[in-house]
Structure 1
Amino acid sequence: MPDIPTDAQQACFEAGIKFGSLYHQFAGTPVSPASTGSLETAMAEAIENQPHCESVSVDILDDRVADAIDHEEGYAELTGSLMEVEMRIDYEGTTVRTRMAMADGYPRMRLVAVEA
């Protein structure tokens, strides 16, 4: 008989779903320093609609966006290297806190804490 996931395991799974959705839904979106604020809000509000998602904080780093613009059209494509994200997931009394930030040249999505 298979083991039934614990609430903590299920909460971690839910966090993974939210990160996958956020990253793959918005990667490649055109972004400029003038549009980072509205895109941050849209991303956070879209992910917060999902079950068990209590909060999402998206910080698109204007200086990195400006540095990534390499043509005269004035925008870059959104990638993990241009943003930092934090989420809080609550599942059946277990809270999972997560963070995405660059580490060793790669946008790492990590568990910060699991609190029962």
Structure 2
Amino acid sequence: MYGCMVSRRHNPSALKYFSKLTDREHAIFEAGVSLGTIFHQLVGMPVNLGKKEELERALSNAFCTQPFRVKTEIKINVERIARGLIEPYNYGVIAPESLDVKVIVEYGDVRVKARLRWIDELGYPLMYIEDVT
């Protein structure tokens, strides 16, 4: 995972837009924003399978720049990546099944651990909250 936190709350001019949320609700909201952004930005992205680890590192660091992110870890499962069968079409493409994402968000004194991963029994890339403290 890659560390990234900058601030723990919105600046005063933005707080009025979130006045009806508790810190707990706001942290969960931010975790959902993060997972949704990652999923919808990455599905369909081409992948050089020989540089998968570099891409995971770069993506984790890039998405960590969003506000209130403490850690972001993006893993790409090459066994579940979509790819062509022959040259030059055999590069990888990120599929929903290939993503395993962990995000830690802090807002105020609340920490949320959220996850996005493919759940075989659901046949779906589920975004869910693992823990709130």
TM (normalized to structure 1)? 0.87
> What does residue range 1-116 of structure 1 map to in structure 2 within 5 Å?
4-65=20-81, 68-72=82-86, 73-103=89-119, 104-115=122-133
Q: Which segments of structure 1 move beyond 4 Å, counting only runs of 4 or more? A: none
Do the aligned residues in 1 keep the contact of 2:64 with 2:72 (CA within 8 Å)? yes
Q: How many corresponding residue pairs?
A: 111
Matched position secondary structure for 1:13: helix
Do the aligned residues in 1 keep the contact of 2:60 with 2:72 (CA within 8 Å)? yes
For residues 94 and 34 of structure 1, the distance between their equivalents in structure 2, rounded to whole angstroms, comes to 38
Do the aligned residues in 2 keep the contact of 1:26 with 1:43 (CA within 8 Å)? no
Matched position secondary structure for 2:50: coil
Same amino acid, percent of matched pairs: 29
The range that moved more, 27-36 or 46-55, is 27-36
Q: Deviations over 1:74-98 (max 9, x none)?
A: 2132122012111100000100001
Which protein has the larger Cα radius of gyration, Structure 1 or Structure 2?
Answer: 2
Q: Deviations over 1:8-35 (max 9, x none)?
A: 1000110111111111122211014213
- Contiguous gaps of at least 5 residues in structure 2: 1-18
Do the aligned residues in 2 keep the contact of 1:56 with 1:87 (CA within 8 Å)? yes
Do the aligned residues in 2 keep the contact of 1:31 with 1:77 (CA within 8 Å)? yes
